[in-house]
Amino acid sequence: MSETKISTAKESRRGFFGSFSAWLAAAVGAVIGVGPVCVGLYTFIMEPLRKKQMPRKERDGGSSDPGFFRVASVDEIATDVPRRFTIVADKLDAWNFMKDQALGAVYLQKNEAGDISCYHTTCPHAGCSVAYEQDSNAYHCPCHNSSFNLDGSKLENGGSTNPSPRPLDTLEIKVDEATNTVFVKYEDYYTGRHDKVAK
């Protein structure tokens, strides 16, 4: 009988140490495994939030003035003939930095005096893209037949009503005389409204 008690005591001690060892190993494994997971999650979540600001040069499209983007050289702009230019800049959202992305497009033209005009390519009626047609020397929207003169004013087509609520949207420009470069303050505007309101 005493041998049975000793044997049971040894087995219960072995069972306890076996269970304790298993629990200890599981706890150590969990601590070792959870650490890298926590660091990875922290980096994944917090790193983009720390990078909210792009370098000034990237953020401002190469201009020293906020909101202005480098578009073209003055020599690239034809006299009395609009030319379409794509606005390209780096974009940053909460998670990603994307280099050289198309933000939109503009038409640039200069008159005989050398004054430069800039028009948004988006039709103010419904947001379609307008195209310059050389035959009629005017801007036309293919969606609902809106038409615009070279100065951006609404053009009536053979008695039909122009559905656009306002002229083409103009954009502010600056010319850097030192580099002969045109910068455009690019903004998108709400369509379908009589007043020009930036988004």
**Domain residue extents for the chain:** 1-50, 56-185
What is the C-alpha separation between 33 and 127, in angstroms, rounded? 52
In this predicted model, what pLDDT tens digit does every residue of 27-76 receive, in sequence order?
A: 777 778 777 777 777 777 766 555 544 444 444 455 567 788 889 999 99
- pLDDT value at residue 86: 92
Which is it for the CA torsion 36, 41, 42, 48, positive or negative?
Answer: positive
- pLDDT value at residue 59: 43
63 or 185, which is more confident: 185
Q: Tell me the CATH class for 56-185.
A: mainly beta
CA of residue 57 relative to chain centroid, distance: 16
137 or 57, which is more confident: 137
117 beta partners = 109
Q: Coil, helix or strand for 122? A: strand
- pLDDT value at residue 139: 92
- pLDDT value at residue 57: 44
Query: What is the pairing mode between strands 97-110 and 83-92?
Result: antiparallel
Spell 86-117 as b/e; 16+ CB within 10 A means b.
Answer: ebbbbebeeeeeeeeeeebbbbbbbeeeeebb
Strands (E), 8-161: 68-73, 83-92, 97-110, 116-120, 131-133, 138-140, 147-148
8-state DSSP, 170: B
- pLDDT value at residue 40: 74
pTM, to two decimals: 0.65
Span of 47-61, 78-92, 137-151 with lowest mean pLDDT? 47-61
